[in-house]
């Protein structure tokens, strides 16, 4: 892990939300952190845990998982640069199970640092507030996604959102991104069965919108995926998205599962 990696990921996320000066960003250079490698489906925080630290996602993805019902429900997904438990600055008890989707790397940063950061910089305080507000906006859109879209549009919208969010921190510029999902994870995030999730991905592939090979998603037709999903990234405050055209390729017929 390179020195300053935790600082740079948080800087990328905050700078994607509002204008910050070089002096504001320099305040992050002294951020104390403990780096932790998290295995797939290992919890970072459990519901009702009390904590005095926040977790910054550096690599991979985290999810908030509610283990109720037959398959459980994923209620949010967090990408590099996110601070999924920023609310614990004010309510130190975790609201749900924060779990790694696949292997992940996180930085654990004391609450005291974030409090000091807000006290030293009005712009940084505003950026942290915007981060919390963006989390709320994403949650509202997830509610809309589950309540108003069919399975195909739900999955397409989720993939569009994840792509937009990782592009905001400089990743997936070529529309290739590491998949955060197993088949069961995708089903739990979209409120469908694993079998339905498999069929949905197969249909997106059949329409030439994406390829899903192993752990990598390649979006072949970004405008087409956006139209299908009805995706409007304004709620993410990410700025313009990169959607480079890719030459069409023949899609092999698959009789197995679409995702690992």
pLDDT digits (tens, 9 = 90+) for 192-222: 999 999 999 999 999 999 998 888 999 999 9
pLDDT (0 to 100) of residue 152: 95
**Which tens digits make up the pLDDT trace of 130-187?**
999 999 999 888 888 888 889 999 999 999 999 999 998 888 889 999 887 888 889 9
My answer on whether 157 and 96 are in the same domain is no
**Count of beta carbons in the 10 Å neighbourhood of residue 113:** 17
My answer on whether 74 and 171 are in the same domain is no
Q: Does residue 254 fall inside a structural domain?
A: no
pLDDT (0 to 100) of residue 22: 93
**Count of beta carbons in the 10 Å neighbourhood of residue 142:** 21
The full length of the chain comes to 260
**Tokens for 97?**
């199970």
For the entire predicted model, the pTM comes to 0.86
Please state, for a pLDDT cut of 90, what percent of the chain lies above it. Answer: 56
| Domain count along the chain | 2
Please give the helix or strand (H or E) that residue 138 lies within, else none: helix 122-148
Q: Does residue 184 fall inside a structural domain?
A: yes
Q: Does residue 172 fall inside a structural domain?
A: yes
**Count of beta carbons in the 10 Å neighbourhood of residue 194:** 17
Full domain range(s) for residue 111:
5-133
Q: Does residue 125 fall inside a structural domain?
A: yes
Name, in order, each residue with C-beta under 8 angstroms of 91's C-beta and a sequence gap of 6 or more.
none
My answer on whether 194 and 114 are in the same domain is no
pLDDT (0 to 100) of residue 69: 53
Please identify, among 133, 163, 191, the residue that sits at the C-terminal boundary of a domain.
133
Q: Does residue 182 fall inside a structural domain?
A: yes
Query: In this structure, are residues 188 and 65 in contact, taking their beta carbons and an 8 Å threshold?
Result: yes
My answer on whether 112 and 223 are in the same domain is no
My answer on whether 161 and 128 are in the same domain is no
My answer on whether 126 and 9 are in the same domain is yes
Query: In this structure, are residues 146 and 191 in contact, taking their beta carbons and an 8 Å threshold?
Result: yes
Please identify, among 99, 133, 167, the residue that sits at the C-terminal boundary of a domain.
133
My answer on whether 120 and 220 are in the same domain is no
According to DSSP, the residues that pair with 66 across neighbouring strands are 73
**Count of beta carbons in the 10 Å neighbourhood of residue 170:** 13
My answer on whether 120 and 167 are in the same domain is no
My answer on whether 125 and 159 are in the same domain is no
My answer on whether 153 and 218 are in the same domain is yes
Instruction: Provide the CATH number for the domain around residue 170.
Output: 1.10.10.10
pLDDT (0 to 100) of residue 130: 93
- Confidence class of residue 2 from pLDDT cuts 50, 70 and 90? very low
Q: Three-state DSSP class for 207?
A: coil
Torsion angle of alpha carbons 143, 76, 85, 138, nearest 10°? -50
Spatial distance between the Cα atoms of 156 and 15, rounded to a whole number of angstroms: 27
Q: Does residue 246 fall inside a structural domain?
A: no
**Which tens digits make up the pLDDT trace of 70-120?**
567 898 999 999 999 998 998 887 777 899 998 999 999 999 999 999 999
Q: Does residue 82 fall inside a structural domain?
A: yes
pLDDT higher than 60, residue 248: no
Q: At what angle do helices 122-148 and 151-167 cross, to 10 degrees?
A: 160
My answer on whether 33 and 71 are in the same domain is yes
Instruction: Provide the CATH number for the domain around residue 80.
Output: 2.60.120.10
My answer on whether 179 and 78 are in the same domain is no
Spatial distance between the Cα atoms of 79 and 22, rounded to a whole number of angstroms: 24
Please identify, among 83, 102, 133, the residue that sits at the C-terminal boundary of a domain.
133
**Phi, psi (degrees; rounded to nearest 5) at 218:** -115, 120
Spatial distance between the Cα atoms of 49 and 9, rounded to a whole number of angstroms: 25
Q: Does residue 252 fall inside a structural domain?
A: no
């Amino acid at each position: 892990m390179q020195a300053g990696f935790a600082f740079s990921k948080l800087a990328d996320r905050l700078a994607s939300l509002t204008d910050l000066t070089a002096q504001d960003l320099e305040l992050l250079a002294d951020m104390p952190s403990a780096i932790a490698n998290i295995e797939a489906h290992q919890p970072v925080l459990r519901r009702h845990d009390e904590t005095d630290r926040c977790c910054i996602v550096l690599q991979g993805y985290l999810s908030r998982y509610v283990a109720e019902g037959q398959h459980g429900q994923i209620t949010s997904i967090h990408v590099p640069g996110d601070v999924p438990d920023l609310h614990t600055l004010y309510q130190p008890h975790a609201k749900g199970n924060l779990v790694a989707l696949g292997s992940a790397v996180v930085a654990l940063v004391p609450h005291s640092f974030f409090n000091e950061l807000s006290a030293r910089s009005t712009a940084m305080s505003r950026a942290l507030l915007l981060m919390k507000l963006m989390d709320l906006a994403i949650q509202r859109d997830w509610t809309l996604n589950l309540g108003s879209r069919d399975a195909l549009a739900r999955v397409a919208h989720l993939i569009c959102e994840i792509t937009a969010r990782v592009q905001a921190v400089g990743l997936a510029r070529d529309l290739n991104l590491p998949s955060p999902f197993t088949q069961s994870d995708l089903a739990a995030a979209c409120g469908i069965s694993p079998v339905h999730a498999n069929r949905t991905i197969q249909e997106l592939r059949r329409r030439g919108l994406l390829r899903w090979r192993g752990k990598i998603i390649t979006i072949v037709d970004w405008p087409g995926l956006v139209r299908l999903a009805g995706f409007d990234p304004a709620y993410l405050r990410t700025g313009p998205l990169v959607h480079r055209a890719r030459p069409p390729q023949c899609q092999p017929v698959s009789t197995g599962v679409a995702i690992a």
